[in-house]
Each structure stands twice: as C-alpha cells, then as structure tokens.
Amino acid sequence: MHAKRPRSEWRGCLAGAAVVGLPLAFWIGCEVFHRVTSNPGPATTYREYRATLRTPQWVRQVETNGQTCYLAAGPTRAPLAFPSGPPVYVFDVSGALVDWTLDEGEDVKFQGTWSKLPGSRITVEELDQVLGQGNELPQEPQHGPISDEPK
C-alpha cells in the first residue's frame, strides 16, 4: 500500500501548479480575447468596422491593379497577446471590407497581397472623411446593432 502524503506536501504541489497554471491561463485568455475582439465579425463596411472596433492605430493608402485601397491597423487590446504584427483591415474606395488579418507579421499571404504594396500613410481623420462620406464616425466602439437613427 502507498503511504498518504502529508498535507503540507499537497499544498506545495498546489501552490506550484498555481504559480505556473494561473499565468499560463491568463496568457491563453489574452490570446483568445485578442482573436475575438480583433475579428470584424459581421462588419462588412468601414462604417460598421468603426462602430464595432477601436480607432485604427495607422492607415495606409495603397494602389493595386489600378484600384485604391486602405489598410487600417487596429490595436492589440489584450495585455499579454504578443502578435508579431497588428490586425489589419483592408477597405476599397466604397468602404467595403475586402480582406483582413489577425496578425500582419505572421500572415505571409496577406503580406504578399497587401503589406508590401507601395503606398502612403494617411490620417484616421482623412480615412473617416473618404470612407465615412464626411459623416461623423464613432470614436470608440458602440455595442449593439448599427443604426442610422440618432441615439
């Protein structure tokens, strides 16, 4: 038969598991939070994107196949999510969301299609004017359905 372990030994094992497990669980939670909050979900236009996600950190205007597109990089909001690049959303001149990536630094296909295109930086305000049709866009996300009615 096996001898029972002393209670203090079990406490030491539990404390060791907590020291390793809790930070690991927090980190995994941050990665999941990053994936969920960076996903544009049902947003298919720039207006919907701005209503559900935060203000972009930077914007680039690029030309591809004679078409102008806008790359808007969103912030990484989870404190322990360390992607090699920000989430980036691509909009055409009509404001339609045409592509996006969770991690610009790791997405080789996205880099080949969008990130390496020559372009120029523009301000978020300039993009709001171009794709928001001059209408005031929300500065921070608003939750719930998107509506044109004033609140």
Domain layout of the chain by residue ranges: 1-141
Instruction: Quote the pTM value.
Output: 0.70
Q: How high is the pLDDT of residue 51?
A: 86
Q: How high is the pLDDT of residue 137?
A: 47
pLDDT in tens, 70-106: 999 987 766 666 667 789 999 999 999 999 998 888 8
- Model confidence at 148: pLDDT above 80: no
- By three-state DSSP, how is residue 73 classified? strand
Range 130-146 average pLDDT: 53
